[in-house]
Amino acid sequence: MAAESERVDRSSYSMDKSITLPPNEIFRNLENAKRFAIDIGGSLTKLAYYSTVQHKVAKVRSFDHTAKDTENDPLYEISMQEEILARLHFIKFENAYIETCLDFIKDHLVNTDTKVIKATGGGAHKFKDLIEKKLKLRVDKEDEMTCLIKGCNFVLRNIPHEAFVYVKHADSEFRFQNTHPDIFPYLLINIGSGVSIIKVESEDTFERVGGSSIGGGTFWGLGALLTKTKRFDELLQLASKGQHTSVDMLVKDIYGGSYGSLGLTGDLIASSFGKSATADKEFSKEDMAKSLLHMISNDIGQLACLYARLHNLTRVYFGGFFIRGHPVTMHTITYSINFFTKGEVQALFLRHEGYLGTIGAFLKGAEEDNPNQYSWGENYAGSSGLMSTSPDLNPMQRARSGTFDMLEMDRLERQLVNLPLLQDPSSYIPDTVDLSEDALAREYWLYCFEEALDGVRAVASQPDLPEAAERAEKFRHKYLHKLQTLRHQPFAYGSLTVRSLLDTREHCLNEFNFPDPYSKIKQRENDMALKYFQKAVKSLEELSWEQRQFALVRGLLAGNVFDWGAKAVSELHNDSPVFSIERPWLVDTYDQWLERLKGPPHKCALFFVDNSGIDIILGVTEAIFTFFHFMIFLVLASNSSPALNDVTNNELQILTERIAAMDPVIQSAVKEDRLTLVQSGSSSPCLDLSRLDKVLAGVVRERHTDLVIIEGMGRAIHTNYYALLSCESLKMAVIKNSWLADRLGGKLFSVVFKYEVKDVKTG
C-alpha cells in the first residue's frame, strides 16, 4: 500500500502541474464545447468533445475597375474576417486524474446545451455517478464494440498515415502505410483482457468471428503471479530487458540444431517455459516476463493468421490496451504474424488506437449531424502525436505518457477524395523523400525550417495590429517546439516529410491568427504582373509556332522561380543572381512534349497551378493563350486556402476576370465554359492527389481529362515526382534548394521538365 500511495502522490504532482496550464493547452475551447463522449478503460480515460473555434481568414474582394481613375488602384482588397471552424477534441489521461479533470471541465464549461454524455468502456459504469454529479450530464452508455469499429473506420478514412508496421531497430521503427481508398474489409484484433477478432465489411456491418480468453489480462495476471509486479507497464518494461531463451525450450535444445525436414530453425521456441520444468535454478523476473510475452503474443498472432486466411483478408489491425504503442509488444506480434504467414500478411498498428472507443462513442452521439458526410483533418498544432513508450527512446517524452495526450481533428469545408486519374490509388505515395527513414535528410530539413522562421512574414502581414508581434512570438515558440518534438520523434504525425513540416507550420500560423502572411506580397506582385500581360502576349504572337511553345515553357519556369518559400529565392530577390533556364535541363523530355503537341488535341487538361504574380499571370495565363490550340477544355486547380505565396482560388477568380477583360481568347474560353477554375481542396504548398476536392474529381471525370500538368517545386518535386497517372502528365519546376537538387543529381536552379505517357484507364 505504501508503494501505491507513493505512486498516486507522484501522479498527483504531475497532474497538478499540468492542470494549472491555461485551458487552451489541454482542454481547449471548452467555452464552446458541446456533445461530450467518454471511454473509460481499466487504467486510461479518453474524453471527446465537439467545439466551435473562431479564427481569422483572409478574404479578397474585387474592386470596381470601370471608372478611368482606378487604373492604378490594387486589383482587389484584402480583409481579415472571423469564421467558425468545427473541431473535435480527444484527450487521454490516467484514471487517477479523472475527478480533477471533471472539476476542471465543470469550472470552464459555459453556455452548453448538452444534456447527455455518451459513454463506453468497462469503467463507464464505475464512474457513472461521479460524471453525472460533476458535469450535471446524463450518462448514456454505448456498446463498446460498436464504438470501437466506428472509431477505427473514422481514423482510417480521415488520417492518411494512421496505420503502420513496426520494424524493430530501424532508423524509424514506424513504417507508415497508405490507407487504401476503400478501407473495407479488414480484420480487427482487439486485445484487452481477452481477445476479440472482428471482421469489418462496411460502415455498419461487422461480426465478431472469434476470440480467445488468453489476452492482455492473462499476461498481466500470470505476470503478476510470476514476478510480483502489479503494474502492466512495469511488467512490459521487465519483458523488454529479459532473455526468453533462458526460460523457453528451443528447437535446438531438443535436436541440437534446426529440424530441417520440417523447416524449423534452431532458435524457434519449441516449448514456452519448457526449461523451467527441468532446470534447477531461479529465473529472473525479466526473463519470465519476456517468455510470457512471447507465449501470449505468439498465440494471438497464430489466431489472427488463421482467421485472416479463413476469411481471405490481408488487412489485419491490432489494438487494445495490450498494445498501447509498446515497442516490445508490437515487435513480438509482428514477428509472430510474419512467421505464421511467411510474410504474406503484415501486422498493422494504429497511431490513435487508444482513441477508437471514444471517437466511436462521440460519433454515435452526433449521428443527427452525420459527421461522416465531411472530411476531417488532423490539426498538428493541437495534437500531441504518437509517442514511443520504450524506456530507451526519448526518456523525456516517456514522462508525458503519465499526464496528457491530445488529438484534434478539424472539419474541412470540402469532402476530399482521390484524383480519379491515379494509376493505382492504393500504392500512391505523395512524398518524394521520407525523412523518417533518412536521418541526414531529416536533420537538414529540420535545420532549414528552423532557420526559415525569421523569414515568415507574420508581423509584416498585420502591421496595424499592435498585438501581432506577441502572437508571432507565440507562433515561433510553438513551431520550434514542434520541430524539436519531430527531431526526437520523427514518427509523431505519420511519415515525416517536407510536406508535413510545411503543413505543421501552416497549422501553427492559423492557430495564432496569421491566415495569410504573404497576402500583401501576393497582391503587389499580381498588380505588377498584370501591367505586363498584354505586352507579353503581343510578343508571343510575333514568334513562330515552335518558338512560341518554348517561350511559353520558359515563361512558366521563370515565373515558378519566384517562390517566397525558398531560401534561395529570397536571396535571389535581394541579390538578383543570374541563372539560366536554357536547355539541356536536369530532366528534359521537352522534345517529346513538342512532338505530342503536333498530334491530336487533348480533350481536357487539368493544371495544378503554383505561385501568385509572375508565375500565374505571365506564366500560366500566357500559356492558356495558346493552350486552346491543342486542347478543348482546361481546368485550373488552385489552393482552397492560403499557403506561402501560392495563388488561391478566390484570387485566381478575380485575376481571371480581369485578364478576360483584356484578352478576347481567354474571355471567349471563360464564356464558353472551356476554361474552368476549381478549388483543389488543399491548403498546402505541396499536393496530395489522394485528398482532393470531390467537386474537382467530378469535373475531371465529366471533362474526360487526359492530361495532368503539375507545376512547382512543392507540387511536382517534393510531392508527386514519382506519381504514376493513368493519362499523360507533365511535371515541371525549377529546383530552388541545393540539397534537393544534389539529391536528384543536379544543382541549384536545375530544371525538371518531365513529360510522361501512360495507358489510359477508365475510372
Cβ-contact 300, 331 below 8 angstroms: no
**d(Cα 394, Cα 383) in Å, to the nearest integer?**
18
Q: Would 272 be classed as within a structural domain?
A: no
Query: Grid coordinates representing 348?
Result: 498493422
188 and 82 within one domain: no
Query: What domain range is 489 assigned to?
Result: 434-512
Each residue of 657-671: pLDDT tens digit?
999 999 998 999 999
pLDDT at 5 over 60: no
The DSSP annotation for 96-149 comes to: GGHHHHHHHHHHH--S----EEEEESTTTTTTHHHHHHHH--EEEE--HHHHHH
At 504 the pLDDT is 97
10 Å CB burial of residue 342 (0-12, 13-18, 19+) is exposed
Sign of the CA dihedral running 542, 546, 552, 557: negative
Same domain, 308 and 170: yes
CA distance 119 to 37: 6
Please report the pLDDT score of residue 379 as a whole number. Answer: 97
**Residue 710 domain flag:** yes
Residue 270 falls inside a structural domain? no
Q: Any residues with CB less than 8 A from the CB of 123 and at least 6 apart, and which?
A: 40, 41, 42, 45, 95
Does 153 lie in the same domain as 45? yes
pLDDT (mean) for 382-395: 62
Inside any domain, residue 48: yes
My answer on whether 638 and 749 are in the same domain is yes
Could you tell me if 240 and 311 lie in one domain? yes
* pLDDT one-digit tens code per residue, 440-472: 999 999 999 999 998 888 999 999 999 999 999
Give CA torsion, residues 275, 278, 282, 284, to 10 deg: 10
Tell me the pLDDT of the chain averaged across its residues: 88
Q: Is residue 520 part of a domain?
A: no
Q: What pLDDT, on a 0 to 100 scale, did the predictor assign at position 114?
A: 82
Residues 504 and 620 in one domain: no
Tell me which of 350, 366, 400 is where a domain ends. 350
CATH of the domain at 694: 3.40.50.10880
| DSSP, residue by residue, 628-682 | TTSEEEEEEEEBSS--TTBPBHHHHHHHHHHHHHH-HHHHHHHHTT-EEEEE-S-
pLDDT of res. 602? 94
Q: What is the pLDDT confidence band of residue 562, given thresholds at 50, 70 and 90? A: low
Domain at 296, CATH number: 3.30.420.40
Whether the pLDDT of residue 303 is over 60: the answer is: yes
Of 350, 368, 397, the residue at which a domain comes to its end is 350
Bridge partners (DSSP) of residue 81 are 57
| Total residues belonging to the chain | 763
Task: Give the pLDDT confidence of 218-258 residue by residue, as tens digits.
Answer: 999 999 999 999 888 899 999 999 999 999 999 999 999 99
Buried b (16+ CB within 10 A) or exposed e, 671-702: eeebbbbbbbbbbbbbbbbbbbbeebbebbee
Q: How far apart are alpha carbons 323 and 339 in whole angstroms?
A: 19
Please, are residues 197 and 316 in contact by the beta-carbon 8 Å criterion?
A: no
Last residue of a domain, one of 512, 546, 567: 512
Of 418, 424, 288, the residue nearest 690 (C-alpha): 418
Q: What is the pLDDT of residue 108?
A: 83
In whole angstroms, how far apart are CA 755 and each of 170, 250, 430, 497, 708?
Answer: 36, 57, 18, 25, 10
pLDDT of residue 500: 97
For 412-430, b/e burial (b = at least 16 CB within 10 A) is bbbebbbbbbbbebeebbb
Q: Could you identify the residue written with the cell 517524452? A: 397
pLDDT value at residue 67? 52
Cα separations in angstroms, 640 against 677, 681, 692: 11, 5, 10
- Quick: pLDDT tens for 35-67: 999 999 888 899 999 999 988 898 998 876 555
More confident residue, 100 or 694: 694
| Sign of the torsion formed by the C-alpha atoms of 296, 298, 300 and 303 | negative
Domain tally, the chain: 4
Residue 386, CA distances (Å) to 326, 398, 495, 656 in order? 11, 11, 11, 44
Residues 157-187: b if buried by 16+ CB within 10 A, e if exposed:
bbbbbbbbbbeeeeebbbbbbbbeeebebbb
Radius of gyration of the CA atoms of the chain, in A: 29
Report yes or no on 429 lying in a domain: no
Q: Is the pLDDT of residue 140 over 80?
A: yes
Q: Model-level pTM?
A: 0.90
Alpha-helical (H) ranges within 356-405 are 356-365, 395-398
Q: What pLDDT does residue 526 have?
A: 94
Contacts 24+ apart (CB under 8 A), 60-66: 60/519, 60/523, 60/648, 60/650, 60/651, 60/654, 62/654, 62/657, 62/658, 65/658
Instruction: Give the model's confidence band at 71: pLDDT under 50 very low, under 70 low, under 90 confident, else very high.
Output: low
Residue 259: CB atoms within 10 Å: 16
Assess contact for 60 and 77: CB atoms under 8 A.
yes
d(CA 613, CA 40): 54
Q: Are 447 and 572 in a shared domain? A: no
Q: What percent of the chain has pLDDT over 90?
A: 69
- Residue 487 resides in a domain: yes
The reply to whether 401 and 490 lie within a common domain is: no
- Predicted confidence at residue 403, as pLDDT, reads 60
Other beta carbons less than 10 A from residue 20's beta carbon: 9
Same domain, residue pair 647 and 749: yes
Residue 234's identity, in one-letter code, is: E
- What confidence category does residue 19 fall into, taking pLDDT thresholds of 50, 70 and 90? very low
Residues 462, 316, single domain; the answer is no
Asked if the structure places residue 276 within a domain, the reply is: no
User: What whole-number distance in Å separates Cα of residue 363 and Cα of residue 372?
Assistant: 9
Read off the pLDDT of each residue in 313-329 and give the average, rounded to a whole number: 90
If asked whether residues 194 and 228 sit together in one domain, one would say: yes
Give the model confidence (pLDDT) of 465-491 as tens digits.
999 999 999 999 999 999 999 999 999
553 and 663 together in one domain: yes
Amino acid at 481: H
